[in-house]
Amino acid sequence: MKSRFHLRILWPFVLILVVSLVALILLFPLVQNSVSQHALETGGEANYLPIFSLVFLILAIGLLVGLLINIYYTNQHLTTLEDLTFAAQELGEGRFREIRIPEDVGNMPEMQDLANALQKTACQTEEQFNALNKEQAMLSAVLDNMTDGVLIADDNGKVQLLNEAAERLFKIESEQAIGRSVVEIMRHYSLVELWEKTKNGNPETITMEMGSAHKYLQVIGINLEKDLPGRTMLLFQDLTQTHQLEVIRRDFVSNISHELRTPIASLKALSETLLDGALDDPPAARKFLVRMDSEVDNLIQMVNELLELSRIEAGRSHFEFQRSKPCEIINNAFERMSLQAEKAGVMLTKDCPQGLPQVNADPTRISQVFVNLIHNAIKFTQKGGSIHLTAWQEGNTVVFMVQDNGAGIAKKDLKRIFERFYKADQARSGGGTGLGLSISKHIIDAHGGQIWAESEGKTGSKFFFTIPAAVV
Amino acid sequence: MSRFTLDQEIRLVQDEILLLGSLVEQAILNSVDALQRRDANAAEEVYSNDRKINAKHYAIENHILITLATQSPLAGDLRFLAAMLEVNTELERIGDYAKGIAKVAMRLADSEYPIPIREIQQMADLATSMLHRALGAFVAGDIVAAYSIPEEDNKVDELYESTYRKIVEGMINNPDTIELGNQVVWVIHNLERTADRVTNICERIVFIVSGESVEFDVSDDENRDE
């Protein structure tokens, strides 16, 4: 630092000097007179010792006064400096609100300037700090609320940042992850490969399936070299749902082709046999035609169900809601299906408690749901088994149940059986279009109810659906 | 040799083990996926990828031996490196199981044999999830997980038993399927063995943390498939 000389600090000395000089000038003649007089009176030599003593005394008093003044001012300066240092420390530690800068520092312009400068710095720093805080809060809010996972790593492969979505994806808390290697956190070779490529300046985008959780991810590598040297960012987009939809669509197309192919192939075989000469054998020809007729019926039913499903899905299906009695719905379904159950050797029973509230429903559609459920139950129940229909009230809804003691449904299939063409038992290729439950679900949805299935392994299944009670 | 170098080497080996683990895990899942989709090409890919797994296995073995020779680790470090040597071998064997499943998938690709794919997928998910968590516990020295993960092996065993019975029933009802059914038995067998190997890894975790050699109660005998 350049040293400067402040003349102002000389003024106590000047003061002392001036006072001393004035005192000397004033007192000197008096003392000299008295010395001369004393010499004259005693006739001895003039004794100048008192003069010297006086001069020393005055100088000593001057020095003492100067020292006192000095002590006073130095103390004042030091106190102010201490306050300012303390304030500067507070500032350094970011406690802006607690800073107390002495407003009046007495007659010390330099100290006043320093205090003012400190005050200004504190204000500005607080403003900047708040602005930064706000910006950071905004950024972390964006980071933590985005659905995509973000991971930033340094060039040694140590994780530097992990947002909440990434925490969920890798099942680890950000605090535990930071500083650990990307391999340890991501635990997948494709991701580590992507990170290495991105780090080396060849960012890529990959899609991958992760582990036994079967998460489908699109991962984008971004090299942050420009803004944050050495840093690499990976962006994880969860496409599991999209992928599932894609799988359902693919299954749908492959199923529908398969389902259509079977009756068409039979038709083709039967018609070929007829053309090859079976026509000349009227009894055989008739048998073939009957089978062809039933295959065509199958096809018609499937196409109708498909059309129905697409109509319901598109919301173009017409429902005629009316107040209906739950027991009438059950009786109706029971009568329609009892013959079929009898043929299959399955006992169909029903009970319907008295006093159930009326429901707001389209009876034809609900009966269709019942028929679908009973039809399924018959299909998966062996000869000698039983199927039971019942209903009860629960709050503002009426719950209907179809219970069987048939093959049951595996737990993991329970959720998927309402998908189009989903068949829990893939080995069972024949029988049914695989659309019944899907249509039932849509019908119940349109009624504002719910449909679900429960099954305890091989002891049978229970299908439930609810319909809201009609408002009285 | 400095402590720093040893730590760094151990961490590098650890990362390599985790990478090999993820390769093996994915190989099992991919082989089962190829089986489900009856996709011979995908199965072929898993089959040939086993070479990558083997190469990685040897590289890790080399790395560990060099570290042992040059750093002279002691106590916990020595146990950790020795355990990694063993885990490395376990992982390589699981890789072989995946290869075995891929081989069956190639054979079954053109057949109509009704594969009990749900059960197989469930077994694969369970076994790979166990493997994933066991390796995580391995690097973290998580002894609680080391004791709890092997318990899940029972679920895999149960699935193995029920699926095995299902396949055998199919063979009895339709003797034409005996050959392909037998192949599928190999698949579930490999998955069941995978879970057993995971329990071996868990035994190693206990060894690293406590220095004790424990034997988790695995319901089958170790010599069954070798």
Q: Name the residue among A184, A189, A212 with its Cβ closest to that of B23.
A: A189
Contact A184 B139 (CB under 8 A): yes
Residue with more model confidence, A235 or B118 = A235
pLDDT on residue A432: 61
Contact A187 B22 (CB under 8 A): yes
- B-chain residues within 8 Å CB-CB of A213? 129
At the second CATH level, the architecture of B3-210 is Up-down Bundle (1.20)
**The CATH number fitting domain A322-468, selected from 3.40.50.2000, 3.30.565.10, 3.40.718.10, 3.40.50.2300:** 3.30.565.10
Among all residues of chain B, which has the CA nearest to that of A184?
Answer: B15
- A-chain residues within 8 Å CB-CB of B14? 184
- B-chain residues within 8 Å CB-CB of A211? 25-26, 29, 128-129, 132
Interface test with B, best of A158, A169, A171, A189 (most B CBs within 10 A): A189
Among all residues of chain A, which has the CA nearest to that of B19?
Answer: A189
Residue with more model confidence, B41 or A406 = B41
Q: Name the residue among A189, A412, A413 with its Cβ closest to that of B19.
A: A189
Contact A211 B25 (CB under 8 A): yes
Count CB atoms within 10 A of the CB of residue A24.
16
Q: Any CB–CB contact under 8 A between B21 and chain A? A: yes
pLDDT band at B129 (very low <50, low <70, confident <90, very high): very high
**The CATH number fitting domain A146-238, selected from 3.30.450.20, 3.20.20.80, 3.40.1190.10, 3.40.47.10:** 3.30.450.20
Contact A410 B118 (CB under 8 A): yes
Residue with more model confidence, B76 or B138 = B138
Among all residues of chain B, which has the CA nearest to that of A208?
Answer: B26
Count contacts between A and B (CB, < 8 Å). Answer: 47
Q: Between residues 83 and 102 of chain B, which touch chain A (CB distance below 8 Å)?
A: none
pLDDT digits (tens, 9 = 90+) for B159-211: 999 999 999 988 998 888 899 999 999 999 999 999 999 999 999 999 888 88
Per-residue pLDDT of chain A (472 residues; tens, 9 = 90+): 566 777 777 777 787 778 778 877 887 787 778 777 877 887 777 677 777 787 788 778 878 887 888 888 888 888 888 888 888 888 888 777 777 777 766 677 777 888 888 888 888 888 998 999 999 999 989 998 999 999 999 988 999 999 999 999 998 998 989 999 999 999 999 999 999 999 998 888 999 988 888 889 999 999 998 888 889 999 999 998 888 888 777 777 777 777 788 788 888 988 998 888 888 888 888 888 888 888 888 788 778 878 877 777 676 677 888 888 888 888 888 888 888 888 888 888 998 888 888 888 888 888 888 888 988 888 888 888 889 999 998 888 899 999 988 888 877 777 778 877 676 655 444 456 677 888 888 889 888 888 998 887 778 889 999 998 887 6
At the second CATH level, the architecture of A243-313 is Orthogonal Bundle (1.10)
CA distance A261 to chain B (A): 17
SS (H, E, C) chain A: CCCCCCHHHHHHHHHHHHHHHHHHHHHHHHHHHHHHHHHHHHCCCCCCHHHHHHHHHHHHHHHHHHHHHHHHHHHHHHHHHHHHHHHHHHHHCCCHHHCCCCCCCCCCHHHHHHHHHHHHHHHHHHHHHHHHHHHHHHHHHHHHHCCCEEEEECCCCEEEEECHHHHHHHCCCHHHHCCCEHHHHHCCHHHHHHHHHHHCCCCCEEEEEECCCCEEEEEEEEECCCCCCCCEEEEEEECHHHHHHHHHHHHHHHHHHHHHHHHHHHHHHHHHHHHCCHHHCHHHHHHHHHHHHHHHHHHHHHHHHHHHHHHHHCCCCCCCCEEECHHHHHHHHHHHHHHHHHHHCCEEEECCCCCCCCEEECHHHHHHHHHHHHHHHHHCCCCCCEEEEEEEEECCEEEEEEEECCCCCCHHHHCHHHCCCCCCCCCCCCCCCCCHHHHHHHHHHHCCCCEEEEECHHHCEEEEEEEEECCC
ipTM beyond cut 0.85: yes
Contact A189 B26 (CB under 8 A): yes
